[in-house]
Amino acid sequence: MASWKTARPPAVARDVSFDRWLDEQRRRHPHSVRRVPLDALPGWRFCRDTGDLVHSSGRFFSVSGLRATTDFGAGGRRPRSWTQPVIVQPEVGLLGILLKESRGEVHCLLQAKMEPGNVNGLQLSPTVQATRSNFTGVHRGRPVPYTEYFTGDRSGARVLADSLQSEQGWWFLHKRNRNVVVMTDEDVPALDGFRWLSLRRVGALLRRDHLVNMDSRTVLSTLPPRLLADSAGRPAPAGEDDALHSFTEVLSALADARFRYELTQEQLPLRKVLEDAVGPWRRTRDGIGRDDGRYFTVLGVTVEAQAREVARWAQPLLAPVAGLAGLLVRRVDGVPHVLLRARVEAGTLNVAEFGPTVQCSSRPAHGEGGRRPEFLDLLLAPRAGRVLFDTEQSEEGGRFHHALTRNLIVEPDEGDLRDLPDLPPDFCWVSVPQAQALLRHGNYLNVQARSLMTALMLATG
Amino acid sequence: MASWKTARPPAVARDVSFDRWLDEQRRRHPHSVRRVPLDALPGWRFCRDTGDLVHSSGRFFSVSGLRATTDFGAGGRRPRSWTQPVIVQPEVGLLGILLKESRGEVHCLLQAKMEPGNVNGLQLSPTVQATRSNFTGVHRGRPVPYTEYFTGDRSGARVLADSLQSEQGWWFLHKRNRNVVVMTDEDVPALDGFRWLSLRRVGALLRRDHLVNMDSRTVLSTLPPRLLADSAGRPAPAGEDDALHSFTEVLSALADARFRYELTQEQLPLRKVLEDAVGPWRRTRDGIGRDDGRYFTVLGVTVEAQAREVARWAQPLLAPVAGLAGLLVRRVDGVPHVLLRARVEAGTLNVAEFGPTVQCSSRPAHGEGGRRPEFLDLLLAPRAGRVLFDTEQSEEGGRFHHALTRNLIVEPDEGDLRDLPDLPPDFCWVSVPQAQALLRHGNYLNVQARSLMTALMLATG
């Protein structure tokens, strides 16, 4: 049965050749990222009408404004309403990981890729990480390798998972990316910068800070359970209904939150957000931020790199305060369960999605209406439980500057759990097979929950 | 196996007592609906800033403007962009049907309900058909009966299906309703206006024009397959992967359309849509319409009724031209399949959903970029196939005035099918069990496809 109960990393020999390869990638792909004031960002301008920060091609993404109103987190009181900057990117991007079996193990093809917001330059990204602009050539750059495996043009490629998944609801309006996993029988060579890694190896690398990037983690969360079980030599997972609640009840819990909570979203000219005398958002010397320094700032960078489809570009990045995503797990009749919470976020496409047990910024009051998040204390200091995973991960370096999230998975002692009061509203114990069944579909688990599911399935075995 | 192959209606004895009951309901619930110019609608006004038509409470719904841009239906040419009026209703409504087993058959509790847009006054609506405003009392009307079965307050009630489903994407922006099916073991009496009907009886009533309303049809489409099989005395349905394509491939076909097609949606002040000198939308003497009379008009009505939670009200209605929704079905190795098409509509929440094989207005060019819809001729005049279902159904009478859609299901001769060219992009043969698996989740099948699935499952046995 699911062996995530042990806190030890999986038994993978230290791979000297991987570290040497990664060092070499860092050496061979020098790059520099420099801060530039937003109004001096080449190719970008503040739109005269709206004040939105847009690219001169009209594509990629823009920084616009959002007015959100919701009674989520208002504790039964009147809905809260606020304005904020938000990234708008209507185009759906593609994140694809190519798999093949080799020597009895499933391997995935990852890429050491520089993103300007990465705290450490290169991280391991999916085989393909591209906007539709990459496919249609708006970038005017080099073609993206391996795309033919994800466009249906390759007859030997079998799709194992394919869904549109959301990204950070506090920073994006309605953002989602297509997450695709494809298995090939072909002998596909790894181009320079790419490397075939076994899933067990990826699991070990997940335990290193800031190495497996957000896009890889979200795609890996959608891996079919059978494949994970085979790969780890585990028995077949339990069924969807072999759980504390039936799968229908789990679906119903989220539908209920989507019905109960109000969420209205009005995209606003960024100018209105910044000119709002009551609101806290301001243009600063270099970027956009709040009087109180909370949540995030927007800043600009220029990038020079030698290993990207374009060697030189400029772009805005959203720089958030550090965050925490924590998951409580427990076993019910031998079946592992995770405690998810239905959450409404400012930019959520469909009112609510399941997030982790706790999701907050390093100032834990963030987004929770000023109260200390439920279960935070249990996560940070379990009495007699076990910390299964505790690693700092990065959010997407193509949009976010040094966006660091502590990913924490804790299995409390049953005594801890018995002492807890009844579950507050919106919380639901979901079995791991149920969570995996949800992950065949989009907009059920948010990106923080998906990152933790990947850690749970691959890195706690 | 699925006996929809026979075109005969199911063997249900004509129910004189039902017809007598319905006649009595019509007699006992007199109502009148009168046309009123939009600027004289009590309780409604055109907002000074935006020109949107809004309710004085700020709730319910509004008629606003939309600019949509998409390359769907553009045949590989540049994206089309247009503006149109659109109904905006951010609040998620609840549509619930209560079931119980009685004398070995599953029965559902339906209500003879008047809606102002109904072509025939009363139709059979779900047990509960309510906005959240109904629950919170914004209507200031009578409480909605049976809601306690759908709010989790009733311990004997078992949820069998619960999902948020979309509504007409050409008329609504991002509209969805919660569709819930609940089974009870209690002996629940039918209040005045309500009636317990067996699923077989409902199947027979679906074959009458304009009797089972849109809300009932969409909720019934989410009934668990096992329950349908039991009810009809059929063997258990085939599995999800016992089909022409694997379930993953079906999910992937829709994800691919959601990735490939561009859809940007900008909510606009209605004033901008109507003032646009190039656009065709105008204020008319009584309402809002187009120079060429196409698509729809917006008109106002006042209603007097004795059997609704409020006895007198006024509201706008969207009055569309008549439509057609058609489904091709075939058997592959004994398993029934339906031909679905991924469709982008102006107000779709998540880029695309599966619609029926053909979906168009009585002027078939509608929404298809001017070309005659694929498979229309085969649907309207199959050479040697069978017409399994051909009934005129109503769209929701609470929002739409005399919105009539011909629901047509045809099983072509295998010779017809062999003569067809390869499937055009966006079309996919989906097995009936796969379509039912999709219907556990929201935003996979659009409302026209769901109406046809209900007809196929309940009314062609």
What beta strand segments (E) does A38-127 contain? 44-46, 53-55, 62-70, 80-88, 93-102, 105-114, 122-125
Q: Is pLDDT larger for residue A140 or for residue B443?
A: B443
CB pairs under 8 A between A and B: 90
Q: Strand (E) positions, A356-402?
A: 358-361, 386-394
Question: pLDDT digit string (tens) for B256-272?
Answer: 999 999 999 999 999 99
**Chain B residues inside the 8 Å CB shell of A252:** 159, 162, 180
**Chain-wide mean pLDDT for chain B?**
90
CA angle A178, A184, A187 (to 5 degrees): 130
Q: Which among B132, B178, B256 has the least Cβ separation from residue A255?
A: B178
Name the β-bridge partners of A300: A36, A316
CA distance A200 to chain B (A): 24
Percentage of residues in chain A with pLDDT exceeding 90?
A: 73
Distance CA(A90)–CA(A222), nearest Å, equals 22
| A130: nearest Cα among A143, A119, A114 | A143
Q: Which residue has the higher pLDDT, A382 or B198?
A: B198
- Res B220: pLDDT: 98
A115/A396 Cα distance (integer angstroms): 8
Tokens 């192959």, residue? B5
Residues of A with Cβ-Cβ distance to B132 under 8 angstroms: 259-260, 262
Q: Buried (b) or exposed (e) across B345-362, using 16+ Cβ within 10 A?
A: bbbbbbbbbbbbbbbbbe
Identify which of B161, B255, B440 has the shortest CB distance to residue A163.
B255
Residue A166 or A372, more confident:
A166
> Roughly what angle, to the nearest 10 degrees, separates helices A199-206 and A225-232?
90
Count of H-run helices and E-run strands, chain B? 11, 25
Q: Which residues does A contribute to its contact with B (CB < 8 Å)?
A: 90-92, 94, 132, 152, 159-164, 176, 178, 180, 248-249, 251-252, 255-256, 258-260, 262-264, 266-267, 349-351, 440-443
Residue in chain A lying closest to B352 (CA): A164
Among B159, B351, B440, the residue with its CB nearest the CB of A249 is B159
User: What string of H, E and C letters represents the secondary structure of B154-217?
Assistant: CCCEEEEEEEEEECCCCCEECCEEEEEEEEECCCCCCCCCEEEEEHHHHHHHHCCCCCECHHHH
Contacts of B274 (CB under 8 A, 6+ apart): B51, B65, B281, B282, B283, B288
* Pick from B56-60, B118-122, B316-320: least confident: B56-60
Among A202, A185, A96, smallest CA distance to A146 is for A96
CA distance A411 to A337: 10
Residues of chain A with C-beta less than 8 angstroms from the C-beta of B164: 255, 258-259, 350-351
Q: Residue A161 and residue B249: Cα distance in Å, rounded?
A: 9
The whole-number pLDDT of residue B248 equals 96
Three-point CA angle A11, A15, A17, nearest 5°: 165
Q: What is the pTM of this model?
A: 0.94
- With a CB cutoff of 8 Å and minimum separation 6, the contacts of A164 are A92, A176, A177, A178, A179, A442, A443, B255, B258, B259, B350, B351
Res B142: pLDDT: 66
Phi, psi of B239 (to 5 degrees): -75, 170
Closest by Cβ to B92, choosing from A164, A248, A259: A259
Reduced to 3 states (helix: H, G, I; strand: E, B; else coil), residue A299 is: strand
CB contact under 8 A, A248 and B163: no
B426: left (phi over 0), alpha (psi -120 to 50) or beta: left
Among chain B residues, CA nearest to A175? B350
User: Which amino acid is residue B407, in one-letter code?
Assistant: N
The DSSP symbol for B226 reads H
Min Cα separation A358/chain B (Å)? 25
Nearest to B441 among A160, A260, A441 (CB): A441
- Taking the C-alpha atoms of residue B325 and residue B253, their distance in angstroms, rounded to an integer, is 21
pLDDT tens-digit profile of A339-352?
999 999 999 999 99
Residue A375 has pLDDT above 50, yes or no: yes
Query: How many angstroms separate the CA of residue A268 from the nearest CA in chain B?
Result: 11
Q: What is the dihedral of CA B137, B141, B142, B148, to 10 degrees?
A: -30
Lowest model confidence (mean pLDDT) among A10-19, B8-17, B43-52, B319-328: B8-17
Region A419-438 average pLDDT: 92
Q: What is the distance of C-alpha A344 from the center of its chain? A: 16
Q: Each residue of A114-134: pLDDT tens digit?
A: 999 999 999 999 999 887 766
Structure tokens at B86: 């659109």
Instruction: Pick B262's closest partner by Cβ from A91, A176, A350.
Output: A91
Residue B68 is predicted with a pLDDT of 97
Instruction: Supply the pLDDT for residue B35.
Output: 96
For residues A375-393, give the mean pLDDT. Answer: 91
* Nearest chain A residue to B252, by CA: A162
Record: contact A91-B249, CB cut-off 8 A: no
pLDDT at position B85: 98
Alpha carbon dihedral B66, B67, B72, B73, in 10-degree steps, equals 90
Chosen from A50, A154, A162 to mutate, greatest number of chain B CBs within 10 A = A162
When comparing pLDDT for A72 and B7, which is higher? A72
Taking the CA of residue B402 and the nearest CA in chain A, the distance in Å comes to 28
pLDDT at residue number B4? 36
Task: Please name the amino acid found at residue A155.
Answer: S
Would you call A285 helix, strand, or coil by DSSP? Answer: coil
Q: Which residue of B has its CA nearest to A249?
A: B159
Phi, psi (degrees; rounded to nearest 5) at B95: -120, 115
C-beta atoms surrounding B40 within 10 Å = 11
The phi-psi region of residue A313 (left if phi > 0; otherwise alpha if psi is between -120 and 50; otherwise beta) is: beta
Burial of residue A364 (number of CB atoms within 10 Å: 0-12, 13-18, 19+): middle
Contacts of B421 (CB under 8 A, 6+ apart): none
> Would you say B300 and B314 are in contact if contact means Cβ atoms under 8 Å apart?
yes
- Contact list in A for residue B90 (CB cut-off 8 A) is 262-264
Q: Which residue has the tokens 């935006």?
A: B50
Does residue B140 carry a pLDDT above 60?
A: no
Can you name the residues that pair with A158 across neighbouring β-strands? A183
Under a CB-based contact definition with an 8 Å cutoff, are residues B156 and B185 in contact?
A: yes
Residue A88 sits at the vertex; the CA angle it makes with A61 and A281, to the nearest 5 degrees, is 110
What pLDDT is attached to residue A366?
A: 43
Asked if B225 and B433 count as a contact pair (C-beta separation under 8 A), the reply is: yes
pLDDT for position B5: 38
Which pLDDT belongs to residue A143?
79
Cα angle A423, A392, A408; round to 5: 20
The per-residue pLDDT for B307 is 60
Sign of CA dihedral A194, A198, A199, A203: negative
Q: Do B162 and A351 touch (CB under 8 A)?
A: no
**Nearest partner of A361 among A289, A294, A293, judged by Cα:** A294
DSSP H/E element including B67: strand B62-70
B78 by Cβ neighbours in 10 Å (0-12 / 13-18 / 19+) ranks as exposed
CA of A255, closest CA in chain B: separation in Å? 6
Burial of residue B297, with CB atoms counted within 10 A of its CB: 0-12 exposed, 13-18 middle, 19 or more buried:
buried
Q: How many CA atoms lie within 13 A of A20 on its CB side?
A: 4
Burial class (CB in 10 A: 0-12, 13-18, 19+), A50: middle
Rounded CA gap, B162 and B152, in Å? 12
Give the pLDDT mean for B182-194. Answer: 95
CB-CB contact of A424 with A340 (8 Å): no
Cβ-based burial of B8 (10 A; exposed 0-12, middle 13-18, buried ≥19): exposed
Q: How confident is the model at residue B389 (pLDDT cuts 50, 70, 90)?
A: very high
- The per-residue pLDDT for A8 is 47
Which residues on chain A are in Cβ contact (under 8 Å) with B350? 164, 176, 349-350, 442-443
What pLDDT does residue B8 have? Answer: 47
- Which residues of chain B make contact with A267, given a CB cutoff of 8 A? 266-267
Report helix, strand or coil for B44: strand
Structure tokens at A228: 């994970």
Q: Which residues contact B334 (CB under 8 A, 6 or more apart)?
A: B1, B238
Paired strand residues for B360: B324
3-state secondary structure A151-220: CCCCCCEEEEEEEEEECCCCCEECCEEEEEEEEECCCCCCCCCEEEEEHHHHHHHHCCCCCECHHHHHHH
Q: What is the mean pLDDT of residues B87-102?
A: 94
A94: nearest CB among B159, B249, B259 = B259
Q: What is the mean pLDDT of chain A?
A: 90
Give the pLDDT band (50/70/90) at residue B60.
confident
Residue A276 pLDDT: 85
- Indicate whether A46 pLDDT > 60: yes
Closest C-alpha to A51, from A302, A265, A316, A268: A268
Structure tokens at B122: 């009363």
Q: What is the mean pLDDT of residues B342-353?
A: 97
Q: Which of A444, A331, A459, A354 shows the shortest CA–CA distance to A407?
A: A459
pLDDT tens-digit series, residues A74-107: 877 889 999 999 999 988 999 999 999 999 999 9
- Å between A207 CA and nearest CA of chain B: 30
Task: State residue A91's pLDDT score.
Answer: 87
Q: In this model, does residue A247 exceed pLDDT 90?
A: yes
Residue A162: which of B176, B255, B267 has the nearest Cβ? B255
Return the structure tokens found at A254. Answer: 């989220």
**For chain B, first and last CA: distance in Å?**
10
Interface test with B, best of A179, A248, A423 (most B CBs within 10 A): A248
